[in-house]
Structure 1
């Protein structure tokens, strides 16, 4: 798990990153922290609902190809929870087929980015889904 050293800083938006690939997880987390966000980065989503409850994020960055529980199931879980139904979700996945994108968006993701993701694409999507001051 990677957390921002600023996790108690006031005014920082909070993002949970669920990504099983260590390099991608650290890459996304480091860049988001550098960009001024507080980040909780997880290698899987087995206890996602508990992590969400404890961290209280403003956004979920979610991979689809995860061990044990795939990202589609996690997205359905988030959308079926009264507490997290409105949580913005950006899917970042290596699944490049239109069917995968369509399914994730139908399940409630606001954005779908295909890996490899350029940093400017990631931060642009974050700001589109999570406007400043919202």
Structure 2
């Protein structure tokens, strides 16, 4: 459970959530908003680049299996842009194979969480990545 002070400090943290599964997307979005984060949720990878420009997230939560683009392609595109390369990406995927995890991490993802995830673990990882990108 987070304290009121932690929740208040989360208000300025913007999270871009890219998740095609509607129940998962709504659950994560609602939970993160409840925890005090500002969230922009996309159901597809289309427009992720414009969302990075307009929303300027401090963290990206990325599903790898999207209907229109592979999440690894998004990671590759982010690595090609010096400004986007600095944004921590946390992969949240049902792909549990070590090869998928290695590929995503080699393409710049900072963390890889396999679904189903524990929400408390996700909060901890987000906080660690935000602190790490500020330092």
Q: Runs of 4+ in structure 1 displaced over 3 angstroms?
A: none
The alpha carbon displacement at 1:131 in A equals 2.0
Q: SS at the partner of 2:51?
A: helix
Show the 5 A alignment for 1:1-134.
Answer: 12-131=12-131, 134=134
TM-score normalised by length of structure 1: 0.88
The alpha carbon displacement at 1:92 in A equals 0.2
CA distance in structure 1 between the partners assigned to 2:121 and 2:26 by the alignment: 17
Q: Unmatched 5+ residue regions in structure 2? A: 1-9
The alpha carbon displacement at 1:46 in A equals 1.2
- Of 123-132 and 38-47, deviating more is 123-132
Quickly say closer, same or farther: Cα 1:53–1:85, change in 2 above 3 A. same
CA distance in structure 1 between the partners assigned to 2:84 and 2:43 by the alignment: 20
How many residues align structurally?
125
The CA RMSD measured in Å over matched residues stands at: 1.7
The alpha carbon displacement at 1:47 in A equals 1.3
TM-score normalised by length of structure 2: 0.88
